[in-house]
Amino acid sequence: MPLFVLFILACGLPTLTEPLATPTATELPTVTPAPQCLVVIANALNLRKLPTVHSPVLDWLSVGNELTQLATVGNWYYVDTGKKKGYVNSLYVEECE
């Protein structure tokens, strides 16, 4: 019989003596009052799954692509491309004219 099974049989299952801590987000998204039109100003821009440079890339955007801003998280915008939703860094987009 595996050692961990013997341990559980001998000692019993561990129990929680304190409630689990509620996880907190470091930054919560701020929903924009109304969807806002943005345009990509970089030659190439990554659309990411989460608002971090380490997040997987969902799509690549080109200069001139128009996006709809849905929310803001720090210096990242949560956007809709018309086909996909994800995050872009606010340094590489500006409001549509």
Cα–Cα distance list, 21 to 16, 24, 89 (Å): 12, 9, 31
pLDDT of residue 6: 47
pLDDT of residue 5: 47
CA dihedral 97, 75, 59, 69 (to 10 degrees): -40
Domains of the chain: 32-97 (2.30.30.40)
What mean pLDDT comes out for the span 67-96?
A: 95
What mean pLDDT comes out for the span 66-77?
A: 94
Measured between its terminal Cα atoms, the distance across the chain in Å is: 71
Q: What is the pLDDT of residues 8-56, one digit of tens each?
A: 455 555 555 555 555 455 566 666 566 799 999 999 999 999 999 999 9
CA pair distance 41, 45, nearest whole angstrom? 9
CA pair distance 87, 73, nearest whole angstrom? 9
